Amino acid sequence: MKRGYFATRSITDVADGLRAGRCSSVQLVDRALHDAARWQPSINAFATIDVAGAREAALTADRELARGVDRGPLHGVPVAVKDMIDVRGLPTGAGSLHFAGRTASTDADCVSALREAGAIIVGKTTTHEVANGPTGDRSATGPTRNPSSVDRMAGGSSSGSAAAVAAGVVPAALGTDTGGSVRIPAAMCGVVGLRPSQSALSTAGVQPLAPSMDTVGLLARSAADARCLWEALTGRHPSPAPRRRPPRIGWISPGQVHPTDSSVERVARGAVRAWVVEEVTMPVAADLRAAYQVIQGREAHEVHAGRLSAAPELFDVEVRDRLRRGGRHTDAQLLEARTIRQDGRRALEALLDRFDFLALPTVPLRTPLVDAREVDVEGTVVDVPRALLALTSPWSMTGTPSLSLPAGTVEGLPVGVQLIARLGAEADLLSMGDILGER
């Protein structure tokens, strides 16, 4: 199916067209709504499409521009928001029957920031149930499918946001990322996904999963578009650190963390080869991956313990069982996992004293079929959900920002490369994303 209007247009292009009178916000929103409806039967990217609300907001945006009120690059531009994030007057279903009928009375802080920047929210995007899964195919609203091949999963948990951007329905969308929930679907759908530094963005109004690692994340078709979203959310226009030399990237061999498809690694490394100066080892990365399962598991169980007790049958079986496993981790295991997290932060800081960025594939395998739970990777049978989280969750533990960028394809399916930077270096990541996007 042909990609939507925004598949080939940057936010800057759209903004220029609005101000030159070549299009109106109402026309842009109608295109997004048309493409959302056209793609919905194939990919199921939306839990809610807000036709009336989006058109009303677009009329307001056009009136403001007509009288000289310009809120910036996102003014009058349609965007989408993950169904874990409150949007006033719309359901926040979190992909779960437990939240059926819940309507948000206020906007999440990140949504308020988007509105202040003039963005038009066209709908709420599908999520893996309660954001507790990386595959995007377990939800009360049904599985999200990959625009590149609808028999394949979109990744999760911010599955609908990534699929909507990849299909060209909107140029950008909000997601959430606890262990990889923005970066994984970004890689699998072939778009850009930014997990900011821990606590860089407010999570007020966002349904929690594991509060010590939950973040609001960004999905866009390019690093430049992600920057527009980032600046709207933060109210800042940060510049990357000045450089007197080319960027230096240390390559983390993914095999030291999880078995990795050689073709995926080859494509991902090829995207950054010109800047890789050394292959590095980080033994604690595998430990961080294991410790993540303990901390995330315990915290997610605590968030949903009441629902697990009162009405466990309302959860998808796989999600319910994962939540219950998380509750079995002992206090001793939790203490050890927190110690590993501190050790991992120190090890990563030491590496980032030597390099501007670290890089590795975003996910270690080719995009699996919807509902697949085991695949063969170089002769080793691996668990799909664990594999998808393997290369993203360590950096959730350290709290550092990371960015997934399209690196190419393997047999027509997108592959992502992940960049990791020091705390607060989002501008540097996005600048490097611009460089890689021009290659």
As beta bridge partners, residue 80 has 123, 173
For residues 108 and 110, give the distance between their C-alpha atoms in angstroms, rounded to a whole number: 5
CB count within 10 Å of CB 7 equals 16
Q: Is 402 in the active site?
A: no
SS3 180: coil
| Token output for 405 | 């960028």
Choose, from 82, 96, 159, 396, the residue flagged as catalytic. 82
Residue 398's alpha-carbon distances to 95, 213, 394, in angstroms, are 28, 9, 7
SS percent in the chain: helix, strand, coil, step 5:
45, 20, 35
Choose, from 24, 181, 402, 404, the residue flagged as catalytic. 181
Burial of 351 (0-12, 13-18, 19+ CB in 10 A): middle
Residue found under tokens 């991902």: 268
DSSP state of 238: P
Please write down the HEC assignment for all residues of 268-318: HHHHHHHHEEEEECCCHHHHHHHHHHHHHHHHHHHHHHHHHHHCHHHCCHH
Backbone angles phi, psi at 180, to 5 degrees: 150, 10
CB count within 10 Å of CB 283 equals 9
Contact (Cβ atoms closer than 8 angstroms) between residue 110 and residue 205: yes
As beta bridge partners, residue 172 has 220
Q: Is 181 in the active site?
A: yes
Residue found under tokens 């739970």: 373
Q: Is 82 in the active site?
A: yes
Choose, from 96, 139, 148, 157, the residue flagged as catalytic. 157
Question: Catalytic residue positions?
Answer: 82, 157, 181
